[in-house]
Structure formats: structure tokens, C-alpha cells
């Protein structure tokens, strides 16, 4: 099985930089130490980078493209993005599994938007692109699985989306 790792789409990022999915103005900060997971380019922030904290509703955006109705599973949560448009995931961060993002919760969703399953992944396995990719392949073999959200275990925040698909550059999330 092959899959696509998806960063947030550039047109959605443009919208979020103005007003986030909770209807609020983004919060700007300049990174002192770096290390914040950036959902626009799927890497960690660097010291001195200007970033925004925005509310993002990944299932709502996916449902707009697919016609699904996530109902109560639609969450709005915090994500970090660059203040200015960036080049998105680069060769050092993609197209494979972005281990630097640190995702440890793998949550699968059905085509109707409901949660199918959730997996808490050992830190060593989630940091190993080969092991994490094998798990994603297994999760997406389930015919009921429409997509996987990879989330941070510490805060539960959405990190990136995974869908069935071919190799190549990460496709953006709407």
C-alpha cells in the first residue's frame, strides 16, 4: 500500500493567516528556541522564525471536499504555521513520513467522518519512518479507513493527514 502525507494546502493557509477556523485572528510569535511543529511544511520551527498559532478544523476541511459529515467528531484545535507563505514540505521533510513532527496518536476515520480506530504509537516506532510507514500501510488496508490523522500525544493536536495514494510530493490538506 502507498499513502500520501498531506500538509495544509496553501490556499487554506492563506485563509488561516487572516481568520482561523474558530473565527479568530491568528496569534503571532517569533520563536526564541524553535521546535514548534509547523503544519505548512511538516518540520519543526527554527529560532527566529515568525509563526502563527491558529485554530484549524481538519475534518471540516476534508468534509468540504468529500461531502462527509463528521458531526460531533469535527474538532477545532491549535496548529502552528509560518506567518508568511513557505515552500511547503521539502525533500528533507518529504515525501515520506515526517518523523520530526513526532506524531504518536494515529486516528483513522471512515468515509462518513466518524472515528474508526485510534492507536497510541510507541515513541521509538513513531520516530522511525520505516516502522511508522508500515503501521500507516496496515491502517489504510482496512477498507473502512478513509484517512488517518496523526496527532501529538502530549496535547492531542493535529499534526498531518495521511490518505491512500501514490508516491510523490505530499499533497496538501484542505
The whole-number pLDDT of residue 91 equals 66
Cα 136 to Cα 5: distance, rounded to the nearest angstrom: 10
* Beta-carbon-side half-sphere exposure of residue 91 (alpha carbons within 13 Å): 0
Per residue in 102-155, pLDDT tens? Answer: 889 999 999 999 999 999 998 888 888 888 989 999 999 999 999 999 999 888
- Where are the domains positioned within the chain? 3-164
The two beta strands, 158-164 and 3-6, are antiparallel
Once rounded to an integer, what is the mean pLDDT over residues 6-35?
A: 97
Per residue in 157-172, pLDDT tens? Answer: 999 999 987 544 345 5
DSSP string, 8-64: BPHHHHHHHHHS-TTS-PPEEEE-SS---EETTTTEE--TT-EEEEEEE-HHHHHHH
Residue 2 has pLDDT above 50, yes or no: yes
The whole-number pLDDT of residue 141 equals 94
3-state secondary structure at position 126: helix
Once rounded to an integer, what is the mean pLDDT over residues 23-31?
A: 97
Query: Which residues, in sequence order, are CB contacts of 34 under 8 Å at separation 6+?
Result: 44, 45, 46, 47, 48, 49
Strand partners of residue 158: 151
Amino acid at each position: 500500500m502507498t499513502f500520501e502525507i498531506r500538509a495544509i494546502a496553501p490556499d487554506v493557509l492563506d485563509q488561516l493567516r487572516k481568520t482561523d477556523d474558530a473565527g479568530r485572528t491568528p496569534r503571532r510569535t517569533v520563536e526564541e528556541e524553535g521546535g514548534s511543529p509547523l503544519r505548512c511544511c511538516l518540520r519543526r520551527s527554527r529560532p527566529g522564525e515568525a509563526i502563527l498559532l491558529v485554530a484549524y478544523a481538519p475534518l471540516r476541511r476534508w468534509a468540504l471536499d468529500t461531502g462527509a459529515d463528521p458531526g460531533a467528531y469535527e474538532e477545532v484545535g491549535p496548529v502552528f504555521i509560518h506567518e508568511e507563505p513557505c515552500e511547503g514540505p521539502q525533500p528533507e521533510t518529504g515525501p515520506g513520513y515526517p518523523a520530526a513532527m513526532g506524531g504518536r496518536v494515529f486516528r483513522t476515520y471512515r468515509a462518513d467522518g466518524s472515528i474508526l480506530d485510534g492507536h497510541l504509537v510507541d515513541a521509538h516506532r513513531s520516530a522511525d519512518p520505516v516502522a511508522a510507514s508500515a503501521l500507516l500501510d496496515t491502517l489504510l488496508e482496512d477498507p473502512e479507513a478513509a484517512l488517518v490523522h496523526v496527532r501529538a500525544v502530549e496535547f492531542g493536536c493535529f499534526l498531518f493527514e495521511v490518505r491512500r495514494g501514490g508516491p510523490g510530493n505530499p499533497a496538501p490538506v484542505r
